[in-house]
Amino acid sequence: MSGFQTPATVWSSTFVPSKSPFPEFGQDGYAVAWVDTEDGRFQVLVDGARPVPGTVGRLVSATLGEDAIEMFVADPT
Amino acid sequence: MTGVHITGVGLTGFGKHSDTPLADLGVAAAENALADAGIGYDAVGEVFTSSALAGPQTGLAVAHRLGRTGIPVTATESASAGGMVALRHAVWAVASGRCSTALAIGYEKTTALEPGGVVPAAVGFWDHFPPQLHYAIEAAHWLYETQCGPEVIAAVAAKSYNQARLNPLAARRNPERVTVDDVLGARVVAEPLTKMMCHASVDGGAAVVVSADTAPRSVSVLSIEQTSWPKDPGWPLVGPVVGPPSQITLTAQRAYANAGVGPQDVGVVSLHDMCASEEITALIAMGLTDADGVVKLAESGGLASDGSLPTNTDGGCIARGHPIGATGLAQTAEVVSQLRGEAVSRQVAEPRTGVVQAVGGGGSCVVALLRG
């Protein structure tokens, strides 16, 4: 994955109704998605509600614990 | 055609064996398989062992307990596919002429860590998350594409629980018949998967004897094929997860071709079902049915032992249980029992050809075709 605010489209997603392993994220459950980008399909955490397939958005850089990751953020509708 | 035959299979009970040393599970399964084959350990020319979590040299410890005959003992590790990887080595040890009889042994303890065993530690980012994530995402996609509800996956899981009720060695034997509503009503692990759609982590052992010679109850190995992590741009690399459905298709096609049979010839199926949705995926990927067909099979009971495509008749990983390194050999034992006509209350009506499929984290897939 390359960088900041990469356009991405959701292929599929799930919602996990339990605490995420990172205290600063998803303590009431969290969504994970497979998203398609120009560089391929990736598994990413979702910032917000579980997106339906076809949802368009961006991958935004974030840090969880000591890990630098990219999270999916849906575009405003 | 390999010219190799399975002459003996052996299992331990699957479940919690907290107080049983891991090696004992391997020894017990091997002794059961040798007894089933009607031979002693001194007839075995090579041993291949499988475990994902055992400590170093456990395979040698198991073999030494069986008899210090000086034969080669090789330990393998390939996660959930490990048992089938060990079986493939055993088959080719015989097929190549290196020996006339070989033994594959799988053993695992997942409910209580064996002293000296491997402690699975989070290495990558996704190792911190539930391993069911990618199954859930794939299952959600399949439901979206087919416009089906989760009750299809629940029907597959309920079938597995009810098959396990007929298997005295299974870990999850529900006293009452399990319904689709029971499965749907269980705790959600990752939408659309509930806990009852996910495998049972258990302890257990399984072993298979292969031989160049036939015996009255022997089953022929028509083919056994393995692939490891082929490229698929549609399958994200997120750590040691299983490979994509396209890998199952590739492996199955090679196995069918080398066996000289097709999906239409298969009368009994055992496949890896870490989650019940994986059973659906694998049946389609192996060409045994299509998306419409699998829905009808699941909802009509067609995947049960009295159905038209009997699948995971021992309860599968969902309910027989999943002792990682032993699972593939337990699957093989079930198909052998079916082809012999010895599966008692879960016996399929006169299957002639069976298929065993296993996938493992990190990316190996093995498919074997057997004929009674």
Per-residue pLDDT tens over the stretch A12-58: 999 999 999 999 999 999 999 999 999 999 999 999 999 999 999 99
Rounded Cα distance between B82 and B208, Å, is 13
Q: What are the distances in angstroms from CA B372 to CA B36, B123, B216, B350? A: 16, 44, 10, 9
Distance (Å) from the C-alpha of residue B216 to the closest C-alpha of chain A? 50
pLDDT at A3 over 70: no
Predicted TM-score (pTM) of the model is: 0.97
Q: What residues are paired with B107 via a beta bridge?
A: B205
CB A43 within 8 A of CB B132: no
Is there a contact between A11 and B141 if contact means CB atoms under 8 Å apart?
yes
CATH number of the domain that A57 lies in? 2.40.50
Which residues does B85 contact at the CB level (< 8 Å), separation at least 6? B50, B76, B78, B226, B328, B360, B364, B366
Q: Residue B210 burial by CB count (10 A; 0-12/13-18/19+): exposed, middle or buried?
A: buried
Q: Is B236 on the interface with A (CB under 8 A)?
A: yes
CB B87 within 8 A of CB B332: yes
pLDDT at A1 over 70: no
Is there a contact between B137 and A40 if contact means CB atoms under 8 Å apart?
no
* Per-residue tens of pLDDT for chain B, all 372 residues: 679 999 999 999 999 999 999 999 999 999 999 999 999 999 999 999 999 999 999 999 999 999 999 999 999 999 999 999 999 999 999 999 999 999 999 999 999 888 888 877 788 899 899 889 999 999 999 999 999 999 999 999 999 999 999 999 999 999 999 999 999 999 999 999 999 999 999 999 999 999 999 999 999 999 999 999 888 989 987 877 888 999 999 999 999 999 999 999 999 999 999 999 999 999 999 999 999 999 999 999 999 999 999 999 999 999 999 999 999 999 999 999 999 999 999 999 999 999 999 999 888 999 999 999
Domain count, chain A: 1
**Confidence label for A4 from pLDDT (cuts 50, 70 and 90):** low
Mutation target for B interface from A12, A30, A38: give the one with most B CBs within 10 A.
A12
Is there a contact between A41 and B233 if contact means CB atoms under 8 Å apart?
yes
The closest alpha carbon to B82, from B321, B370, B360, B357, belongs to: B360
For the stretch B71-80, pLDDT in tens is: 999 999 999 9
Interface A–B counts its CB contacts (< 8 A) at 59
Residues in A closer than 8 angstroms to B130, CB to CB, are 16
Sign of CA dihedral B273, B274, B275, B281: negative
Residues in A closer than 8 angstroms to B240, CB to CB, are none
Structural domain containing residue A23: 2-74
